[in-house]
Structure 1
Amino acid sequence: MGALVWHHWGRLLAITSAVYMIWASFWAFLYRKFFWDMVGGTLSPAGLIPGKNTQPLVKIVVDIPLLQIFTLILSLFALALEMPMPQLADTALHRSIVFRIVLYIIAGFVGIMVYQTVDCAVYFVITAIVYGIAMKKGENIRSGGQLKLGEA
């Protein structure tokens, strides 16, 4: 058996997470609910009513779908980064593992606030961890996506 190439596995995880988050973002536009509404909420016959301490989240998720727009943009950018467009294929941005780690952590923390995108947000954080292990092992992404192992 061969050795596990961590950044290739991270690429597959990122593509899966991005497609999943794109799909979940569209559903989040239709059914607006944020994940942390149970904090300070009260249960009524109509369902869970969010508490007063969560009104800012209600504003940016339910009233104005700002977080849904951010999750959609971040996941489209992640998909464009992992399946590079010709304009992005040989740039330093495409080869940067650190940029991917930061992007996926941001996508994970933005996605964890919207109810429909919680699962894919967790997958993005796992993807960031996998890319961190790839960077620790000395893997580099060369132009064209081929692997170049470090001296380890």
Structure 2
Amino acid sequence: MGKLIKNHWARLIILTASAYQLLASIEAFFWPKVFWDFLTTNLNGAVRPIPYLQILNLLFAILGLCWEWPLPLFTTAAERGYFLASEQRRAEASPSSSNNSNNNKTRPTLQVSRWTKFLASMHRSIEARLMIYPLSSLAALLLYQGTNAGLYYIIGMGVYFWGFTEGEIVMGKPWQLPRASRRVYVV
């Protein structure tokens, strides 16, 4: 049997939570209700007359869906930026042979945009997910229609944390397996 890759499992749970939250926020535009209205009516201003909570849930749901199942444009940009940055670091670290008179040409520097670096780092970061998803969970738990999505977010965050403590990494493309390191151990 294979090893359970927790971040793939958490990705599926968060995708389910985001899809549920998206549908719940759309439904809440038509039937606005705060989950905690049986205790207090102070939170009713968040859903009507201006639908602040519904819009917030809609934005968090779209963020969750895009983050966990990103478009190929973003994954290839993130992967390309990651590999270009590693190539650039390798090129800077290698000793330059400036003593050779035939090698007057300098190596071209690879330009990696800040947006690509940011996109790659956010897509690969479990820590960033563990900071954003509690807010998504809170917004979903406040909305009556989104309480199940909030509970799914909590379970997904627990699985992400489990994977984080075991040292898992998120690969650039969804559902890609991490490469095994090629270490040679001398006994």
Report the CA distance between 1:87 and its aligned residue. Answer: 4.2
Preserved CA contact (<8 Å) 1:101 1:129: no
Report the CA distance between 1:101 and its aligned residue. Answer: 1.5
Query: Counterparts of 2:162 and 2:179 in 1: how far apart (Å)?
Result: 13
Report the CA distance between 1:149 and its aligned residue. Answer: 8.0
Report the CA distance between 1:88 and its aligned residue. Answer: 2.9
Q: Which structure has more strand as a fraction of its residues? A: 1
Structure 2 match to 1:116:
145
Report the CA distance between 1:63 and its aligned residue. Answer: 2.0
Query: Counterparts of 2:56 and 2:73 in 1: how far apart (Å)?
Result: 23
Query: Counterparts of 2:39 and 2:179 in 1: how far apart (Å)?
Result: 46
Bigger radius of gyration among the two: 2
Preserved CA contact (<8 Å) 1:138 1:150: no
Query: Counterparts of 2:59 and 2:150 in 1: how far apart (Å)?
Result: 14
Structure 2 match to 1:69:
55
Report the CA distance between 1:143 and its aligned residue. Answer: 1.8
Deviations 1:46-84 (A, max 9, x none): xxxx3xxx2xx1111122110110011001011001111
Query: Counterparts of 2:46 and 2:73 in 1: how far apart (Å)?
Result: 33
| Gap runs ≥5 in structure 1 | 41-49
RMSD of the TM alignment (CA)?
1.8
| Gap runs ≥5 in structure 2 | 79-119, 182-187
The normalised TM-score by structure 2 is 0.68
The normalised TM-score by structure 1 is 0.83
Query: Counterparts of 1:9 and 1:86 in 2: how far apart (Å)?
Result: 20
Structure 1 match to 2:32:
32
- Counterpart code for 1:148: P
Name the structure, 1 or 2, with higher relative contact order (CA <8 Å, separation 6+). Answer: 2
Query: Counterparts of 1:127 and 1:121 in 2: how far apart (Å)?
Result: 10
Q: Secondary structure at the match of 1:81?
A: helix
* Alignment: residue pair count: 137
Percent of paired sites with the same residue: 33
Residue 78 (1) aligns with residue 64 (2): yes
